[in-house]
Structure 1
Amino acid sequence: MNNFEIDPHFSTSYYYDPKFETQAVKVLPGEYYATDSEEMIVTVLGSCVSVCLRDSYSGIGGLNHFLLPHDRSSRDTPLAESARYGVYAMELLINHLLKLGAMRHRFEAKVFGGGKVIKDFTFANVGERNVEFVLAHLKNEGIPIVARDLLNIYPRKVHFFPQTGRVMLKKIHSLHNATLIEREKGYLRQIERKPISGAIDLF
């Protein structure tokens, strides 16, 4: 944890995880978290994308969780227009990591999400748009992607350990309730209304 002034997008959903025997924080859509401590960061992704970003030397790292919005006035909204939300999510995470002492030239990223899990979304390719944006953005920023698990049809649960860089990823093959889907839909509606201010895999 850290003592910086709390940003409204900065997750404060702290808890102790008895399975992993560690302090943890849950990141919801539209939030991010950054730390220089031995904590675990957890998020669940549907169409959203998360970037697990860390300084490969110091272990300072964090994770964001974002969904590009859709302008309902046009089904052909250019990616460049809607991607400003993704850019904002990346800037929040990067700036916080730098404040904690991370060095930009040592950044490495692991990227997850973009599943096609919401069949009746206002536009069908939201996951693809998220993936297209994040891969291009990291390339433009010169940040190497050292692991990825993207697209397909499954939600994903991500456990990220910034100090070591390890990610444990579980693909959710059976979604028993609509919590994840409704959470992402609610997040999408929220950011459209206001301007910007399975098995476990190891990565």
Structure 2
Amino acid sequence: MVAPAAAIASGIERRVNVMQGMTFVTDDPTVVLTTVLGSCIACCLHDPRARIGGMNHFLLSEPRHGRLRDEGEAERYGVYAMELLVNEMLKRGASRSRLRAHLYGGANLHAGMRAIGTDNGRFAQGFLVNDGIELSQANIGGSLPRRVDFRPAAGQVRCRMVEAALPIEETRIPQPGGTGDVELF
């Protein structure tokens, strides 16, 4: 195994893409957690003394009327994802009193639709307040997606806005009048 400082200095890193419904916790200094968010929220937690961190990625704050169709569906919701992230951190040696949180995402990508991103952001902030976890940084809301890269062992986060894609213009190429024959080449 490469020593952590040497691994970072040499550029060796292991990128883990945290998709919707996932939670990932580690103390490995060579790991970078990454995700892309629209209306979803990613919470990055870090314990600076234990040098451990983790990220989750959830789609919606909580199920409508508190109902789930099945147990597998729970992973989509913040109420499950936030509990799972905190509990995994504590199992790995983090202390709740030292946890520092960063929140990202919560964009409202489509004007005129329900503000799911806003709901997700409010939920995540409320969860942290109720759990007594300090919110160190938040970049939530707006109308643009974000890309987040998080070094969990060091607690370093980079958040970049993803500019809206330009519309693609369709160009029709005039087709010569044909005989209906097919030419193979």
TM range (shorter): 0.7 to 0.9
Larger Rg: 2
Whole-angstrom CA distance in 1 between matches of 2:158 and 2:61: 28
Is 1:49–2:46 an aligned residue pair?
no
Pick closer, same or farther for the CA change 1:130–1:69 going to 2, 3 Å: closer
Shift of 1:61: 0.6
* Structure 1, 167-176 or 30-39: larger mean CA deviation: 167-176
Pick closer, same or farther for the CA change 1:144–1:27 going to 2, 3 Å: same
Deviations 1:33-63 (A, max 9, x none): 1101111100000000010001121121100
Whole-angstrom CA distance in 2 between matches of 1:69 and 1:139: 15
Query: Could you tell me which of 139, 144, 158 is aligned with 1:149?
Result: 139
Please state whether the residue corresponding to 1:65 is helix, strand or coil.
strand
Whole-angstrom CA distance in 2 between matches of 1:34 and 1:108: 14
Pick closer, same or farther for the CA change 1:69–1:109 going to 2, 3 Å: closer
Is 1:138–2:103 an aligned residue pair?
no
| Unaligned 5+ runs, structure 2 | 1-10, 68-73, 168-185
Does the 8 Å CA contact 1:116/1:152 hold for their aligned counterparts? yes
Aligned to 2:19: 28
Identity in percent: 37
What pairs up with 1:38-117 in 2 under 5 angstroms?
38=29, 39-68=31-60, 81=66, 85-117=77-109
| Unaligned 5+ runs, structure 1 | 1-19, 72-76, 178-203
Shift of 1:147: 0.6
Aligned to 1:174: 164
Please state whether the residue corresponding to 1:89 is helix, strand or coil.
helix
Does the 8 Å CA contact 1:28/1:43 hold for their aligned counterparts? yes
Letter in 1 for 2:161: K
Q: With structure 2 as the length reference, what TM-score do the two structures score?
A: 0.73
Aligned to 1:182: none
Shift of 1:119: 4.9
RMSD: 2.4
What pairs up with 1:3-14 in 2 under 5 angstroms?
none
Give the ranges of 4+ consecutive aligned residues of structure 1 lying more than 2 Å apart after TM superposition.
174-177
Q: With structure 1 as the length reference, what TM-score do the two structures score?
A: 0.67
Does the 8 Å CA contact 2:61/2:79 hold for their aligned counterparts? no
